Amino acid sequence: MLVPAYGIMAERLAIASALPVVYVATAHAGDAEMTRRIAGHRERRPHDWGLIEEPLLLAEVLARECTPDRCILVDCLTLWLTNWLMKTDESGLHDQTRALLAVVSRAPGRLIMVGNETSMGVVPLSELSRRFCDLAGVLHQDLAARCDRVVLTVAGLPLLLKGEPV
């Protein structure tokens, strides 16, 4: 299984924090391939990490779990966004996004969030895909404005966009 470099980078940052880690997984195993991916993530993560699986109510989890004495790793924001877009009623997406931004702004402790950059290639053909890219872009911009450090990982190499070097 190919493991995205940004996930590995996030896991390294969590380990380097020297804090107890809680991994917040937003993936939903909707098919056999995703089930295998999730299993690969579980096998790769340190066994002493906590795990919370939450595909939709991310802000509630962060409000409850972020404390000064632990590191929270969210993997991943774009899957969380996809989960909302795939619901027949996505009316909660905007409220949840506002809640997420509010929680991130005041979260104590170490919070590491993984998201995929989706707007550096061609414009997608479908309306849903274009909407996803637009929403992901706005989400990432809004989160970056609230974060102390922003790192873009390309080919396994960190490119510091904001904050202290990795």
Q: What is the pLDDT of residue 83?
A: 94
CB-hemisphere CA count at 13 Å for 110?
18
Q: What is the pLDDT of residue 66?
A: 98
Where in the sequence numbering do the catalytic residues fall?
41
* Segment 33-79, tens digit of pLDDT: 999 999 988 888 999 999 999 999 999 999 999 999 999 999 999 99
Sequence-distant contacts of 151-157: CB under 8 A, at least 24 apart: 151/9, 152/117, 153/5, 153/6, 153/9, 154/5, 155/5, 156/5, 156/8, 156/9, 157/5
pTM as predicted: 0.92
- The parts of the chain modelled with pLDDT lower than 70 are 1-6
Burial, 49: exposed, middle or buried (Cβ in 10 Å; 0-12, 13-18, 19+)? middle
Q: Closest by alpha carbon to 111, among 120, 121, 119, 101?
A: 101
User: To 5 degrees, how large is the angle CA 100–CA 95–CA 31?
Assistant: 75
CA distance 91 to 88: 9
Backbone angles phi, psi at 4, to 5 degrees: -60, 140
Q: What is the pLDDT of residue 147?
A: 95
Q: What is the pLDDT of residue 72?
A: 98
Q: What is the pLDDT of residue 6?
A: 64
Q: What is the pLDDT of residue 41?
A: 87
Q: What is the pLDDT of residue 125?
A: 87
CA distance 95 to 79: 17
